[in-house]
């Protein structure tokens, strides 16, 4: 492409080095912003018309041509991949010139690619964040359904990867619903903070034409109006950074769920079985059943965290206002969005396919002395200070462990030595898994009816 064909070519006589031309070109990835660039251009044409820069008929021609271009490229995007344009803004301008000639050359009056791309990104993130929120809610809904179905299913709870206390599988599922709910709120809050329109900031000092930026912002659906400082407007990438951060934390939550369930699916635990649709086998070992879907989700978390590091480091020490460094914001942003969306979809399928082995879960709850804290609480009810009760039960655990029995099966001498306050109490009954679960009957606790109540509440919130 000759210098005169470039948006900025008037200053130059010679052609660019081919390697630099390829290095400088961003159309390969910012073509994704086509529809947003067209939307912003239509709004800018209307704003120039209201400012008296364009005649009404010229505005109508420009808007119609931009709409037609968007429809054609939505049906067949091939021209984008065949174009020699430097970026999506140049592509649109050249395509418009092919349709309208010199009229198209008027459209860029008073604006810069700097405020264009900032506007395009915000418009794009508006839709992308909404999609991520919808995908996250879909996963939450799958987990809520699982929680409802497993609200009474006892499952070993762990601290330090050691069996700690019995919980229910439903309670475990709802823990991730809580995390994902916060992820949705972060995405929504990021959109609230980015709800200002940069268009009209021009290159850095604001447009020199009498454009009504309030009306322009309203035309593009920015509820908080135009940006208030043109230098900040063209260099701000907080909106992209916040969305990548929200994706990173969301991916951490998906990775933690994946880690839990990879262990649950292991032969060592055997609590859970994933459906064939999200499992794979081994090319050598016929017996293998691998949770590859979850392992990939866990692995892809690293990619999105890398995207966050990229965009944060990109802005570190970057002087005001626009610098070409900011061209590097898009690939990490788009990768974070695409990876997170794919992981949400796959994880939802995993959850829908999962089935707990109730007998295996219950058997696991019978070992590991997970009832020990409940036994200490019973001693407290009988009048002991908790610290004394804790010590007594610790000694009882040692005795039971040495004899290979559970706490409920301690012989009379051990009970007399360690648990005299509970003489006559049916330990097998009060220390059963069901009894232990029922005792944790606080708001947010793992008692089955509390889990059912929380599952119902979440279902109502998601439906609303």
What are the catalytic residues? Answer: 160, 282
Residues 88 and 330 sit within 8 Å (Cβ to Cβ): no
Crossing angle of helices 88-100 and 113-149, in 10° steps, is 120
Nearest one of 218, 199, 217 to 209, comparing CA atoms: 199
Token pair of 410 as six digits:
């301690």
Residue corresponding to tokens 């005795």: 399
Token pair of 26 as six digits:
């961003």
The half-sphere exposure of 246 on its side-chain side, counting CA atoms within 13 A, is 27
Residues 106, 65: Cα–Cα separation, whole Å: 14
Contacts of 135 (CB under 8 A, 6+ apart): 341, 344, 345, 348
Token pair of 372 as six digits:
């020990």
How crowded is residue 111: how many other Cβ atoms within 10 Å of its Cβ? 24
Nearest one of 34, 98, 91 to 67, comparing CA atoms: 34
Residues 172, 407: Cα–Cα separation, whole Å: 26
Crossing angle of helices 386-403 and 372-381, in 10° steps, is 140
How crowded is residue 462: how many other Cβ atoms within 10 Å of its Cβ? 15
Helices (H), 266-328: 292-315
Residues 153, 252: Cα–Cα separation, whole Å: 26
CA 112 to chain centre: 32
How crowded is residue 398: how many other Cβ atoms within 10 Å of its Cβ? 12
Residues 180 and 246 sit within 8 Å (Cβ to Cβ): no
The half-sphere exposure of 360 on its side-chain side, counting CA atoms within 13 A, is 13
Residues 101, 324: Cα–Cα separation, whole Å: 29
């Amino acid at each position: 492409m000759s210098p005169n064909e470039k948006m900025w070519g008037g200053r130059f006589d010679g052609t660019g080095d081919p390697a630099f031309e390829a290095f400088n070109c961003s159309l390969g990835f910012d073509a994704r912003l086509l529809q947003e660039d067209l939307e912003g251009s239509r709004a800018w044409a209307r704003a120039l018309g209201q400012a008296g820069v364009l005649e009404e008929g010229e505005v109508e021609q420009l808007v119609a041509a931009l709409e037609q271009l968007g429809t054609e490229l939505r049906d067949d995007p091939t021209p984008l991949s065949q174009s020699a344009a430097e970026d999506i803004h140049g592509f649109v301008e050249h395509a418009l010139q092919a349709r309208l000639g010199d009229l198209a050359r008027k459209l860029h009056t008073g604006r810069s690619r700097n405020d264009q791309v900032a506007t395009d990104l915000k418009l794009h993130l508006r839709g992308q964040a909404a999609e991520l929120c919808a995908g996250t809610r879909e996963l939450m809904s799958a987990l809520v359904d699982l929680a409802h179905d497993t609200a009474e299913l006892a499952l070993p709870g762990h601290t330090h990867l050691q069996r700690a206390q019995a919980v229910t599988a439903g309670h475990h599922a709802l823990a991730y619903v809580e995390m994902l709910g916060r992820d949705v709120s972060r995405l929504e809050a990021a959109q609230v903070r980015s709800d200002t329109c940069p268009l009209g900031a021009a290159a850095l000092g604001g447009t020199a034409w009498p454009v009504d930026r309030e009306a322009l912002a309203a035309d593009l659906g920015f509820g908080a109006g135009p940006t208030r400082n043109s230098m900040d407007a063209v260099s701000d990438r907080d909106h992209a950074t916040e969305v990548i951060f929200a994706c990173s934390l969301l991916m951490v939550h998906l990775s933690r769920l994946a880690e839990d369930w990879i262990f649950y699916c292991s032969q060592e635990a055997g609590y859970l079985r994933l459906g064939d649709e999200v499992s794979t086998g081994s090319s050598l070992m016929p017996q293998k059943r691998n949770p590859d879907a979850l392992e990939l989700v866990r692995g892809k978390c690293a990619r999105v965290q890398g995207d966050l590091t990229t965009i944060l480091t990109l802005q570190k020490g970057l002087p005001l206002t626009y610098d070409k460094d900011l061209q590097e914001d898009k690939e990490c942003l788009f990768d974070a969005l695409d990876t997170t969306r794919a992981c949400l979809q796959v994880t939802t399928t995993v959850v829908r396919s999962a089935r707990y082995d109730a007998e295996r879960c219950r058997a696991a709850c019978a070992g590991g002395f997970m009832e020990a804290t409940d036994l200490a609480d019973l001693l407290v009810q009988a009048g002991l200070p908790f610290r004394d009760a804790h010590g007594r039960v610790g000694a009882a655990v040692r005795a039971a462990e040495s004899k290979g029995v559970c706490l409920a099966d301690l012989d009379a001498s051990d009970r007399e030595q360690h648990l005299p306050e509970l003489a006559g109490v049916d330990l097998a009954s009060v220390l059963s898994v069901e009894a232990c679960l029922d005792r944790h009957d606080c708001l947010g606790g793992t008692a089955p009816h509390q889990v059912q109540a929380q599952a119902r509440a979440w279902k109502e919130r998601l439906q609303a």
